[in-house]
């Protein structure tokens, strides 16, 4: 049995030297083999030098450094790819997540959960971070039925399979419990102690609210319609066209009754709705064709593999 601890970090020079001994002793207490994977997200301060110093004294420390600042999602995904453990635990580098909680997460996971997410029950961040976050968690539960108090806690423990199933980019790390659950893994959360940020600065501000909501649409699409886009486009386009057709029908009746309709704004509006609706509908068709081609290619590859197998 082995556990990989993954720490994504971006300009966290102040906390790394304090994080390492605490993380190390927490991992030692687990009584299973471990490795510590630091993923430096293109830091511009002395984080990398500090990490190299740590790695020179401890060969369980691995450092991967992204050439370019790419965001937490990408740093995590890279760490998952490189992780060798049967379990994978992630934690933030700023010591807001306590390494001592790893034991509790691991115990919970052994009850049969493939992702155990931390719940910062008594969160030590400013109100302008906490309130949007509450709203976000509520919406996620309401839309998808995966009810967690806290989606975006940095402290999470996965089985190897769950971690390696993720390909995160952009703002997707906020949706991890949903993405993992959509793939059929068992997900749960346990309360964890959260610390205020004593070192360095938060990398996210209030502006993330404006990124969370658009991201939600992407995730909605990816989780619900990625394999059947026509259901989405067809419905949207169909409704618009139907409203447009009703409007035109109404105008036709007026015309038959002898009124002039040529100058009415409603005529333009109705025509626009029909046209736009049809365009949306056909966009869906094209999306469906693309997916169909893709699936066919997959089938072909499988068939080829099969052929190879039989000729041996
Ligand atoms: N982080 C990162 N790349 C980024 C932003 C953040 O690797 O683009 C790391 C950061 O160094 C920290 C963790 O992700 O280890 C969480 O970031 P932060 O503490 O700023 O988020 P908050 O706790 O304020 O939500
Ligand atoms: Mg933090």
Nearest CA to ligand 1 atom 24: 202
Cβ contact 38:67 at 8 Å: no
Confidence bin at 128 (pLDDT 50/70/90): confident
Instruction: State residue 280's pLDDT score.
Output: 97
pLDDT in tens, 226-249: 889 999 999 999 999 999 999 999
Alpha-carbon distance of 127 to 132, in angstroms, equals 9
* CA 197 to ligand 1 centroid distance, Å: 11
Atom of ligand 1 nearest to the CA of 7: 15
Q: What is the pLDDT of residue 250?
A: 97
Q: Are 64 and 82 in contact (CB under 8 A)?
A: yes
Supply the DSSP symbol for 112.
T
Decide whether any atom of ligand 1 lies within 6 Å of the 151 Cβ: no
Identify the residue whose C-alpha is closest to ligand 1 atom 23: 202
Instruction: Kindly identify the ligand whose nearest atom is closest to the C-alpha of 126.
Output: 1
Six-digit token pair at 279? Answer: 């365009």
The answer, yes or no, to whether any atom of ligand 1 lies below 6 A from the CB of 12, is: yes
- 272-290: per-residue pLDDT in tens? 999 999 999 999 999 999 9
Q: Kindly tell me if the per-residue pLDDT of 93 is higher than 90.
A: yes
Q: Where are the domains of the chain?
A: 2-225, 229-311
Atom of ligand 1 nearest to the CA of 91: 15
Q: What is the pLDDT of residue 122?
A: 92
Cα 204 to ligand 1 centroid, rounded to whole Å: 7
Phi, psi for residue 7 in degrees, rounded to 5: -120, 105
Residue 310: what pLDDT? 62
311: pLDDT strictly greater than 80: no
Return d(Cα 136, Cα 147) in angstroms, integer.
11
CB-based burial of residue 257 (10 Å sphere; 0-12 exposed, 13-18 middle, 19+ buried)? Answer: exposed
Among 5-9, 38-42, 185-189, 220-224, the minimum mean pLDDT is found in 220-224
Please give the model's pTM, rounded to 2 decimal places: 0.84
> Is residue 84 a contact partner of residue 160, using CB atoms and an 8 Å limit?
no
3 state SS of 301: helix
* Alpha carbon of residue 12 to chain centroid: 23
Whether domain 2-225 has CATH 3.90.550.10: yes
How many Å apart are CA 189 and CA 113, to the nearest integer? 10
96 lines ligand 1 (CB under 6 A): yes
Ligand 1: centre distance to CA 145 (Å): 27
The answer for residues whose C-beta is within 8 angstroms of residue 188's C-beta and 6 or more apart is: 108, 113, 115, 116, 117
Strands 115-120 and 156-159: antiparallel
Is 40 a pocket residue for ligand 1 (Cβ < 6 Å)? no
13 lines ligand 1 (CB under 6 A): no
- 13-29 helix and 102-109 helix, angle to the nearest 10 degrees: 50
How much distance in Å is there from the Cα of 240 to the middle of ligand 1?
42
């Amino acid at each position: 049995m082995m556990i990989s601890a993954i720490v994504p970090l971006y300009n966290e020079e102040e906390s790394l030297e304090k994080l390492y001994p605490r993380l190390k002793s927490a991992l030692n207490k687990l009584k299973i083999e471990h490795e510590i994977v630091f993923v430096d997200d293109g830091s511009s301060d002395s984080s990398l030098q500090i990490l190299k110093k740590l790695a020179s004294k401890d060969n369980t420390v691995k450092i991967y450094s992204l050439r370019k600042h790419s965001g937490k999602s990408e740093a995590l995904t890279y760490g998952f790819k490189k992780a060798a453990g049967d379990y994978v635990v992630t934690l933030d580098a700023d010591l807001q997540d306590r390494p001592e909680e790893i034991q509790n997460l691991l115990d919970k996971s052994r009850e049969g959960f493939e992702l155990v997410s931390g719940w910062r029950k008594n969160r030590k961040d400013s109100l302008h971070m906490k309130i949007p976050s509450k709203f976000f968690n509520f919406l996620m539960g309401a839309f998808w039925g995966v009810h967690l108090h806290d989606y975006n806690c940095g402290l999470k423990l996965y089985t190897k399979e769950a971690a390696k199933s993720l390909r995160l980019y952009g703002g997707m790390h906020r949706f991890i419990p949903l993405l993992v659950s959509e793939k059929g893994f068992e997900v749960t959360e346990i309360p964890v102690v959260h610390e205020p940020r004593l070192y360095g600065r938060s990398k996210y501000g209030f502006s993330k609210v404006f990124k969370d909501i658009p991201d939600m649409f992407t995730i909605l699409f990816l989780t619900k319609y990625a394999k059947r886009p026509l259901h989405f486009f067809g419905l949207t386009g169909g409704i618009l066209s139907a409203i447009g057709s009703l409007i035109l029908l109404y105008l036709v009746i007026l015309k038959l009754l002898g009124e002039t309709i040529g100058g009415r704004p409603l005529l333009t509006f109705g025509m626009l709705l029909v046209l736009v609706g049809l365009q949306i509908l056909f966009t869906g068709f094209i999306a469906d064709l693309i997916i169909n081609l893709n699936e066919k290619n997959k089938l072909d590859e499988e068939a080829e593999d099969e052929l190879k197998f039989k000729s041996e």
